[in-house]
Amino acid sequence: MPASWRLMVFIYNLLLIFVSGSVVALAMGYRQPLLWLETLLATPQNRLLTGIVAGLLALIGLYLLMAGLKRDKPRTMTVQEGPLGDVSMTIPAVKQIIMKAARNVEGLREVRPEVKYTSSGVSIHLHLMINPDYKVPEMTEALQNQVSRYLEEIGGLKVAEIKVLVDDIAAQGPRVR
């Protein structure tokens, strides 16, 4: 969601909290929210402006409701185009291939892949937790080569880049999860 829409959601939620608080205050017997409402609706110009703002808020609320109910279509990348049709692969399938490749590299404790499709191929960012007994440069190079080879051989995907970030160095423990 773009930053402008996040700002709109923030403002919308603040207004919803204010309106809810006003209704609670009215229910408890306070009259101040009614005085504010009477002031807002005192002149024709104020009524018009209040109606326009309320209409915009209703449209934003409807849009947010529809966006929340919409199912995200899984992103796919075409692996092969043939005379009988296209062969595509989803991001979760690519992540499974990456995890299978990572199991063959010694010293990895945890791998969290992020996959993006680009026009030049698959862009991969790997977040790692490694065991301290292994050399980071050699291990990460082996991981990059293994992941690239698996994606090209098993998935038929072109790899644009594989970036590696070592998030944590952990005590010796179980292998890749």
User: Distance of CA 8 to CAs 18, 41, 63, Å?
Assistant: 15, 24, 11
Nearest partner of 147 among 111, 106, 100, 77, judged by Cα: 100
- With pLDDT > 70 as the criterion, what percentage of the chain qualifies? 94
Q: How far apart are CA 85 and CA 3, in angstroms?
A: 39
User: Which of the pair, 146 or 175, is modelled with greater confidence?
Assistant: 146
pLDDT 10s digits, 122-137 = 899 999 998 888 888 9
What are the sequence ranges of the domains in the chain? 3-69, 76-169
Q: How far apart are CA 125 and CA 161, in angstroms?
A: 8
Q: How far apart are CA 54 and CA 61, in angstroms?
A: 10
- With pLDDT > 90 as the criterion, what percentage of the chain qualifies? 36
The residue with tokens 């930053």 is 3
pLDDT 10s digits, 55-77 = 988 888 888 888 778 876 667 77
Question: Can you give the pLDDT at residue 117?
Answer: 86
The residue with tokens 């979760």 is 92
**Domain 76-169: CATH class, spelled out:** alpha beta
Q: What angle do CA 82, 72, 57 make, to 5 degrees?
A: 145
Q: Is the pLDDT of residue 1 over 90?
A: no
pLDDT 10s digits, 16-50 = 899 899 999 999 999 998 888 888 888 999 899 98
3-state secondary structure of 78: strand
Question: Can you give the pLDDT at residue 176?
Answer: 61
pLDDT 10s digits, 134-145 = 888 999 999 999
Question: Can you give the pLDDT at residue 81?
Answer: 80
